[in-house]
């Protein structure tokens, strides 16, 4: 099979042939590699930076952010089955210190750990990989398109979890409520993939998130950040050491920039009793002058804590799966925009379809001037079977919960749209339908807007990039030039 390998300490990478691995013990899992992410660690390795080949070898197969599918199982494996999507964790413990013996190689005390694709073990930039069951994490089929984000997200999960645990121990108000983070100001520096994922996790926790970077607010990353409810801060206009004065002091700061000078300046944005967690690793060896006395005075007098966080345990990978699922329920297909589309395809989102309430003609809801989700608590619902579209179902449920409709009164499920419409027409209940099918609804059904139902389904035009048809190019240009009015 083919693999991508480097000679540690030298620049460059090449494609090599390696024997396909096979199951050799009952507790092993074999995955077919579908995608492998590339990050700054890989770039450093290919440039001749930090990396170590396995014992007795000159080359190292790189790649540590992987996503694959189960193709073979050892006889004792139970946590995944054939055909499941899954990821392997990265670090392997020293088998000597207590943390490693407890399954927490990310906190190894001896430094004798190994890491796949980085330090002493071949990585995942290859066609097939085999490892122990204890290192595999199942990924739901709904997350197939973004499953490769599990490893970088696991690093974020650990960093935020550590900071939160510290605050619970340190701060009296944090100790009395698990919702301490709700409404707290958090600053994420560096809106690359790790920074955006950190922002996503903090937004899921209810935090008020600010994102610091030095790109135009109209560029892709700030726009993605804006959709999840973040506040973008252009570091060229508001430097890190001015954030406290021009915006507000931050309760939590997370650095994902890897820029040493910025990482120290970010301390000026931290408020009293705040926590600052660093995940970015600076490169180079250029000396940096800092006011050490002032830094220590601030940490002591303002009761602040600063910590570094690296790698992640299997539990953090599971947290990543859970949060990515929640993010997809909350923001839908927008989450997938953090990863590029299939390189062979181009796309253009030209409209969004809103969700309306389908009720029988003459229903009491048709007489109301304004309908909110909480008004539907005792009304019978016809609901799509979750298996028909798990992501859409999750979005609807999440929106209902936020609007006060925590448990819709579902009296009947439908497997398809026509059956659902028929049940509504027979006055068995009400149902959610997209506005685009208004013209298909029978006369006996009325579609009503619900003021706090904010789920939208995007319409995308998708075409092959290498299709040079003049007719296609003209059609695409016409679609892109068409402004579809937003519906409220």
Q: How do residues 441-468 score in pLDDT, each as one tens digit?
A: 778 899 999 999 988 877 778 888 888 8
pLDDT at 249: 96
Residue 454 region by backbone torsions, left for phi larger than 0, else alpha for psi between -120 and 50, else beta: alpha
The encoded tokens of residue 470 equal 């003049």
The encoded tokens of residue 334 equal 């927008």
The encoded tokens of residue 296 equal 């220590």
> Does residue 11 surpass a pLDDT of 50?
yes
Instruction: Report the pLDDT averaged over residues 152-161.
Output: 95
pTM above 0.75, yes or no: no
Backbone angles phi, psi at 255, to 5 degrees: -100, 125
Question: What is the C-alpha to C-alpha distance for residues 276 and 261, in angstroms, rounded to an integer?
Answer: 15
Instruction: Report the pLDDT averaged over residues 36-48.
Output: 90
pLDDT at 21: 96
Question: What is the C-alpha to C-alpha distance for residues 165 and 187, in angstroms, rounded to an integer?
Answer: 18
pLDDT at 124: 97
* End-to-end Cα distance, the chain: 53
> Helix or strand or coil: residue 391?
helix
Task: Answer for the pair 7, 61: CB distance below 8 angstroms, yes or no.
Answer: no
Task: Answer for the pair 194, 156: CB distance below 8 angstroms, yes or no.
Answer: yes
What stretch of H or E contains 254?
strand 250-255
Instruction: Report the pLDDT averaged over residues 194-201.
Output: 96
> Does residue 284 surpass a pLDDT of 70?
no
pLDDT at 178: 62
pLDDT at 225: 94
pLDDT per residue as tens digits for the range 387-438: 666 667 767 887 888 888 988 899 988 877 888 888 999 999 999 998 888 7
The strand pair at 380-384 and 409-414 is best described as parallel
Is the pLDDT higher at 482 or at 403? 403
Task: Answer for the pair 266, 240: CB distance below 8 angstroms, yes or no.
Answer: yes
Is the pLDDT higher at 145 or at 120? 120
Task: Answer for the pair 113, 105: CB distance below 8 angstroms, yes or no.
Answer: yes
Question: What is the C-alpha to C-alpha distance for residues 226 and 233, in angstroms, rounded to an integer?
Answer: 11
Question: What is the C-alpha to C-alpha distance for residues 54 and 60, in angstroms, rounded to an integer?
Answer: 7
Is the pLDDT higher at 345 or at 340? 345
To which residue do tokens 């560029």 refer? 219
Is the pLDDT higher at 102 or at 180? 102
CB-count burial class (<10 Å; 0-12, 13-18, 19+) for 239: middle
Question: In this predicted structure, which of 151-165, 171-185, 192-206, 411-425 has the lowest mean pLDDT?
Answer: 171-185
| pLDDT band, very low/low/confident/very high, at 248 (cuts 50, 70, 90) | very high
Nearest to 234 by CA among 288, 301, 189: 189
pLDDT per residue as tens digits for the range 80-105: 999 999 999 999 999 999 999 999 99
Question: What is the C-alpha to C-alpha distance for residues 251 and 212, in angstroms, rounded to an integer?
Answer: 15
Question: In this predicted structure, which of 14-18, 213-217, 218-222, 387-391 has the lowest mean pLDDT?
Answer: 387-391
Q: Mapped to the 3 state alphabet, what secondary structure does 6-61 carry?
A: ECCCCCCCEEEECCCCCCCCCCEEEEEEEEEECCHHHHHHHCCCCCECCCCCCCEE
CA-to-CA dists, residue 287 to 2, 33, 264, 290, 327, angstroms: 42, 41, 13, 10, 40
CB-count burial class (<10 Å; 0-12, 13-18, 19+) for 14: exposed
pLDDT at 171: 87
The encoded tokens of residue 297 equal 């005075």
Nearest to 66 by CA among 160, 1, 152, 142: 152
The encoded tokens of residue 51 equal 């990396």
Question: What is the C-alpha to C-alpha distance for residues 386 and 182, in angstroms, rounded to an integer?
Answer: 30
Question: What is the C-alpha to C-alpha distance for residues 17 and 229, in angstroms, rounded to an integer?
Answer: 46
> Does residue 488 surpass a pLDDT of 50?
no
Nearest to 279 by CA among 339, 225, 201, 204: 201
| DSSP assignment letter at 285 | -
Structural domains of the chain, ranges and CATH numbers in brackets: 2-139 (3.90.180.10), 153-314 (3.40.50.720), 347-458 (3.40.190.290)
pLDDT at 51: 94
pLDDT at 398: 75
The encoded tokens of residue 413 equal 């499920």
Percent of the chain past pLDDT 70, that is, above it, reads 95
Looking at the DSSP bridge assignments, the partners of residue 448 are: 357
Mean pLDDT for all residues in the chain: 90
Question: What is the C-alpha to C-alpha distance for residues 107 and 98, in angstroms, rounded to an integer?
Answer: 9
pLDDT per residue as tens digits for the range 46-78: 989 889 999 999 999 999 999 999 999 999 999
C-alpha torsion sign, points 343, 344, 350, 352 = negative
The encoded tokens of residue 219 equal 């560029």
pLDDT at 454: 87
């Amino acid at each position: 099979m083919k693999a991508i390998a480097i000679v540690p300490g030298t620049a460059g990478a090449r494609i090599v042939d390696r024997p396909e691995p096979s199951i050799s013990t009952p507790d092993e899992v074999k995955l077919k590699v579908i995608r492998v992410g590339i990050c700054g660690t890989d770039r450093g390795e290919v440039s001749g930076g930090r990396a170590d080949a396995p014992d007795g070898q000159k080359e190292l197969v790189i790649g540590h952010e992987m996503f694959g599918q189960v193709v073979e199982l050892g006889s004792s494996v139970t946590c995944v089955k054939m055909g499941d999507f899954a990821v392997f964790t990265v670090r392997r413990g020293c088998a000597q210190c207590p943390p490693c013996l407890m399954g927490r190689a990310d906190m190894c005390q001896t430094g004798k750990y190994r890491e796949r694709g980085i330090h002493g073990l071949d990585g995942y930039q290859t066609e097939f990989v085999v490892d122990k069951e204890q290192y595999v994490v199942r990924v739901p089929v709904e997350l197939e398109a973004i499953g490769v984000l599990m490893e970088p997200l696991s690093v974020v999960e650990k960093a935020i979890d550590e900071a939160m645990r510290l605050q619970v121990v340190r701060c009296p108000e944090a100790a009395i409520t698990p919702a301490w983070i709700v409404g707290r100001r958090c600053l994420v520096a560096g809106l690359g993939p790790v920074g955006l994922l950190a922002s996503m996790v903090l937004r899921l926790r209810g935090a008020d998130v600010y994102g610091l970077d030095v790109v135009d607010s109209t560029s892709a990353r700030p726009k993605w950040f804006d959709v999840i409810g973040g506040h973008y801060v252009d570091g060229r206009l508001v430097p890190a050491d001015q954030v406290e004065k021009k915006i507000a002091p931050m309760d939590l700061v997370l650095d994902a920039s890897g820029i040493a000078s910025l990482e120290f300046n970010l301390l000026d944005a931290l408020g009293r009793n705040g926590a600052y967690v660093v995940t970015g690793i600076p490169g180079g060896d250029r000396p940096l002058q800092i006011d050490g006395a002032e830094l220590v005075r601030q940490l002591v007098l303002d009761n602040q804590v600063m910590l570094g966080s690296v790698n992640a345990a299997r539990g953090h990978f599971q947290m990543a799966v859970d949060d990515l699922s929640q993010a997809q329920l909350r923001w839908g297909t927008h989450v997938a925009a953090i990863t590029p589309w299939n390189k062979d395809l181009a796309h253009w989102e030209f409209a969004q379809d809103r969700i309306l309430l389908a009720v029988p003609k003459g229903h009491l809801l048709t007489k109301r001037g304004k309908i909110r989700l909480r008004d539907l608590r005792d009304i019978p619902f016809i609901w799509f079977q979750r298996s028909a579209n798990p992501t859409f179902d999750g979005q609807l449920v999440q929106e209902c919960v936020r609007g006060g409709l925590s448990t819709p009164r579902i009296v009947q499920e439908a497997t398809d749209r026509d059956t659902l419409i028929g049940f509504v027409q027979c006055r068995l209940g009400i149902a959610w339908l997209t506005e685009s099918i208004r013209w298909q609804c029978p006369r006996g059904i009325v579609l009503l807007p619900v003021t706090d139902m904010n789920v939208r389904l995007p319409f995308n035009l998708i075409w092959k990039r290498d299709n040079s048809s003049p007719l296609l190019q003209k059609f695409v240009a016409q679609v892109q030039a068409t402004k579809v009015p937003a519906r409220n």
